[in-house]
Amino acid sequence: MMRALAICAIAACIGISLCGCSWSKASITEGTFNVYAPAPFTGAAFSMDEKSSVKRASVQIRKFDKETWQLHGLTNEKETTGSGGYQLERSDANIAYRLLRFPVTGAFDYFSKNRISMWGLGLGLDPFPFIRASAGINSRFIEAGITAYLNLSMNHFSAKGKWISVQETLAGDMDDSGDIDCDKCHETKFHGGLGGFINLFPIKELAVSYAPFLYRPWWDDEILDRDISFQFPYIITQYFGASYLIAKHVQISAGTTVYLGKAFSGHYWYFDTGIGFVF
């Protein structure tokens, strides 16, 4: 047994010594990438009692949209294998986002308040699983805070371009290249972001809300296990709306969300509604 383990260890060491660093770069000349739009989050959105906690199960209903946004100002940088074998030329990246707003989002949130400070945790499906956390203040007339969001999703895309790679060994560099021509591909990706929320309470049960949010799809700037030289652009959302807590248990909301970003040629407005049960 010990002899077999020793042989395996020696073989592993030989393999590591023969192989050095390797990398692969991709140049995407055109492509369309699906991105999911998180539902708006406005905190508890009602004035909580001191030293109390609440739970909320909610559903947000949105029009199912498949809006394609052309992105601008993205560039593939020049890359070379270093040995003169292969290179990628500097070129424009003709990239588009295909925004997907799933029609129903389900979430469960927990909020805890001390005197004025408040924190919250939540999880849900949109349509893939997400988690979020929030912290801030909650008083009789105002609620304000920050939130962080993380989502894991299956993203579909189509892309064309080229790739080059280098694998360094003791025998020298091994260079390679090829074409990217992917029509219906998919990858599992993380995306997420940071945001905030402000709620004003003209009366205790009524909230007038504003919630900005900044998030970035396709966090790792990678496609098909190959690095790309540009960053997938951030998306900025701003939600304006109102909600009302009926009989301390049923919370209804409605508002509008605008989507914009530095790489977009315009901005896009959508309507959002929701209903929750507070207990």
pLDDT digits (tens, 9 = 90+) for 205-234: 999 999 999 998 888 888 888 999 888 999
Does the structure show a pLDDT above 70 at 15? no
**CA–CA distances in Å: residue 184 to residues 132, 151, 274:** 30, 22, 33
Characterize 205-239 residue by residue with b for buried, 16 or more Cβ atoms within 10 angstroms of its Cβ, and e for exposed. bbbbbbbebebbbbeeeebbebebbbebbebbbbb
pLDDT for position 173:
64
Reported pTM:
0.85
Residues 217 and 97: beta-carbon distance below 8 Å? yes
Question: Poorest-confidence range of 70-84, 124-138, 142-156, 191-205?
Answer: 70-84
Task: Tell whether 155 is covered by a domain.
Answer: yes
Confidence at residue 64, expressed as pLDDT on a 0 to 100 scale: 79
DSSP 167-230: EEETTEEEEEEEEEEEEEEEEEEEEEEEEEEEEE-SSTTEEEEEEEEEEESSTT-EETTEEESS
Beta strand 206-216 pairing with 222-223: unpaired
Residue 65: predicted pLDDT: 78
- Between residues 13 and 186, the one the model is more confident about: 186
Write down the pLDDT at residue 210.
Answer: 98
For 143-183, how does the pLDDT look when each residue is reduced to its tens digit (9 = 90+)? 999 999 999 999 899 999 999 988 876 655 678 889 999 98
Residue type, 16: I
pLDDT attached to residue 148: 97
Residue 1 lies in a domain: no
* Within a domain: 232: yes
Q: How far apart are CA 186 and CA 209, in angstroms?
A: 36
237 pLDDT more than 60 = yes
Over range 115-132, report the average pLDDT.
Answer: 96
Question: What average pLDDT does range 10-29 have in this prediction?
Answer: 63
**Residue 10: inside a domain:** no
The mean pLDDT value of the chain amounts to 88
16 in a structural domain: no
Give tens-digit pLDDT for 42-95: 999 999 999 999 999 999 998 877 889 999 999 999 888 876 678 889 999 999
- Whole-number pLDDT of residue 9: 41
Q: 48: closest CA among 228, 262, 248? A: 248
What is the phi/psi pair of residue 6, to 5°? -65, -40
Q: Is residue 173 part of a domain?
A: yes
Q: Which amino acid appears at position 94 of this protein?
A: N
Would you tell me how many other CB atoms lie within 10 Å of the CB of residue 31?
A: 20
Report which residue type is found at 186.
Answer: H
Give yes or no for a contact between 259 and 244, defined as CB atoms under 8 angstroms apart.
Answer: no
What pLDDT score does 166 carry? 86
Tell me what pLDDT residue 267 has.
85
**Based on the structure, what is the number of domains in the chain?**
1
Residue 127 lies in a domain: yes
pLDDT band at 115 (very low <50, low <70, confident <90, very high): very high
pLDDT band at 18 (very low <50, low <70, confident <90, very high): very low
Which range of residues forms the domain containing residue 218? 24-278
Render pLDDT for 174-185 as a digit per residue (tens, 0 to 9): 788 899 999 889
Dihedral-angle region of residue 5 (phi above 0 means left; psi in -120 to 50 means alpha; beta otherwise): alpha
Which of 101-105, 151-155, 189-193, 254-258 has the highest mean predicted lDDT (pLDDT)? 254-258
> Is 223 part of any domain?
yes
pLDDT of residue 23: 85
Q: In the predicted model, what is the mean pLDDT of residues 224-250?
A: 93
pLDDT at res. 84: 63
**Proportion of the chain above pLDDT 90, given as a percent:** 62
Q: Is the pLDDT of residue 186 over 60?
A: yes
